[in-house]
Amino acid sequence: MSEKRQFKAIKGTRDILPPDSAVWNWFEQTARQVFESYGFRDIRLPIFEETELFARAVGAETDIVGKEMFSFFSQFTSDERFEDLEQRLHEELARDPGEEKIRALVDSNDPQIPGTLSQAAAKVRRSGESLTLRPEATAGSVRAYIEHGMHTLPGNQKLYYIGPMFRRERPQKGRYRQFYQVGAEVLGPSDAPGIDAEILEMLLALFNRVGLANTKLYINSIGCKDCRPAYVELLREELRKVKDQLGADSQRRIETNTLRVLDSKLPEEQPIIEKLPRISEHLCAACRDHFEKLKIELALREIVYEENWRLVRGLDYYTRTTFEVTAAGLGSQNAVCGGGRYDGLVEMLGGPAGVKGIGFAIGTDRAILSIQEGGNLPRLAGLDVFIAWMGAQAYPAAVRIAQKIRARGFSAELPPEEMKFRKSLGLADKLGARFALILGEDEAATSTYTLKRLADAHQEKLGEAALLDTLEAERKGTRA
Ligand code: HAM
Ligand 1, pocket residues at CB < 6 Å: 136, 138, 167, 169, 174-176, 179, 181, 183, 185, 314-315, 335-340, 359-361, 363, 365-366
Ligand 1, atom 25: closest residue by C-alpha: 136
More confident residue, 459 or 81: 459
The CA-based dihedral angle spanning residues 72, 76, 80, 85, taken in that order and rounded to the nearest 10 degrees: 50
- Which of 279, 94, 318 lies closest to 196 in space, CA to CA? 318
Q: In whole angstroms, how far apart are CA 152 and each of 155, 248, 352?
A: 9, 47, 10
Ligand 1, atom 18: closest residue by C-alpha: 175
CATH level 3 topology of 20-45+135-227+283-373: BirA Bifunctional Protein; domain 2 (3.30.930)
Across residues 199-221, what is the average pLDDT? 96
Tell me if the bond preceding 193 is cis, omega within 30° of 0.
no
Percent of the chain with pLDDT over 90: 80
**Whether 69 contacts 51, CB under 8 Å:** yes
The CA-based dihedral angle spanning residues 434, 439, 442, 445, taken in that order and rounded to the nearest 10 degrees: 120
**Whether 133 contacts 70, CB under 8 Å:** yes
Which atom of ligand 1 is nearest the CA belonging to 362?
7
Residue 111: pLDDT band (50, 70, 90) is low
Range name among 68-77, 95-104, 326-335, 361-370 with the lowest pLDDT average: 95-104
Give me the DSSP letters along 158-183.
Answer: EEEEEEEEE--PPPBTTB-SEEEEEE
In this predicted structure, the answer to whether residue 175 has a pLDDT above a threshold of 50 is yes
Q: What is the pLDDT of residues 84-99, one digit of tens each?
A: 666 666 666 566 655 6
| Main-chain phi, psi angles of 436, to 5 degrees | -110, 135
Across residues 31-48, what is the average pLDDT? 98
> What is the H or E stretch that residue 33 is in?
helix 20-37
pLDDT of residue 389: 97
**Whether 209 contacts 37, CB under 8 Å:** no
In the chain, domain spans: 20-45+135-227+283-373, 48-132, 385-476
138, 156, 172, 181: residue to mutate for ligand 1 pocket, most atoms within 8 A of CB: 181
Measured in Å, residue 170 CA sits from the centre of ligand 1 at: 15
Q: How many CA atoms lie within 13 A of 73 on its CB side?
A: 14
Range name among 27-36, 128-137, 153-162 with the lowest pLDDT average: 128-137
Q: What is the pLDDT of residues 160-172, one digit of tens each?
A: 999 999 999 999 9
pLDDT of residue 72: 82
pLDDT of residue 318: 97
182, 315, 342: residue to mutate for ligand 1 pocket, most atoms within 8 A of CB: 315
| Main-chain phi, psi angles of 3, to 5 degrees | -65, 155
pLDDT of residue 217: 98
pLDDT of residue 127: 52
Measured in Å, residue 140 CA sits from the centre of ligand 1 at: 14
pLDDT of residue 98: 59
In this predicted structure, the answer to whether residue 388 has a pLDDT above a threshold of 50 is yes
Residue 12: pLDDT band (50, 70, 90) is very high
Across residues 456-478, what is the average pLDDT? 93
366, 368, 369, 370: residue to mutate for ligand 1 pocket, most atoms within 8 A of CB: 366
pLDDT of residue 380: 83
Measured in Å, residue 137 CA sits from the centre of ligand 1 at: 9
Which atom of ligand 1 is nearest the CA belonging to 339?
31
Across residues 223-244, what is the average pLDDT? 96
Residue 480: pLDDT band (50, 70, 90) is very low
| Main-chain phi, psi angles of 20, to 5 degrees | -60, -35
> Rounded to the nearest 5 degrees, what angle is found at the Cα of 269, between the Cα atoms of 267 and 270?
70
Residue 65: pLDDT band (50, 70, 90) is very high
**Whether 320 contacts 292, CB under 8 Å:** no
Which atom of ligand 1 is nearest the CA belonging to 138?
27
Range name among 137-141, 337-341, 381-385, 405-409 with the lowest pLDDT average: 381-385
CB neighbours of residue 290 within 10 Å: 22
Measured in Å, residue 232 CA sits from the centre of ligand 1 at: 24
Indicate the average pLDDT of the chain. Answer: 91
pLDDT of residue 109: 57
Alpha-carbon span 87 to 299, nearest angstrom: 61
356 bridge partner residues: 188
Ligand 1, atom 32: closest residue by C-alpha: 359
**Domain 385-476 -> CATH class:** alpha beta
- Amino acid found at 395: Y
pLDDT of residue 255: 93
Packing angle, helices 464-476 and 395-407, rounded to 10: 40
Farthest-apart Cα atoms in the chain, separation: 93
What Rg, from alpha-carbon coordinates, does the chain have? 29
pLDDT of residue 2: 72
pLDDT of residue 80: 59
- Which of 218, 31, 196, 49 lies closest to 136 in space, CA to CA? 49
Measured in Å, residue 385 CA sits from the centre of ligand 1 at: 40
In this predicted structure, the answer to whether residue 1 has a pLDDT above a threshold of 70 is no
Measured in Å, residue 228 CA sits from the centre of ligand 1 at: 23
pTM above 0.85, yes or no: yes
Across residues 122-148, what is the average pLDDT? 85
Pairing type for strands 449-453 and 435-439 reads antiparallel
Give me the DSSP letters along 416-475.
Answer: SS---HHHHHHHHHHTT-SEEEEE-HHHHHHT-EEEEETTT--EEEE-HHHHHHHHHHHH
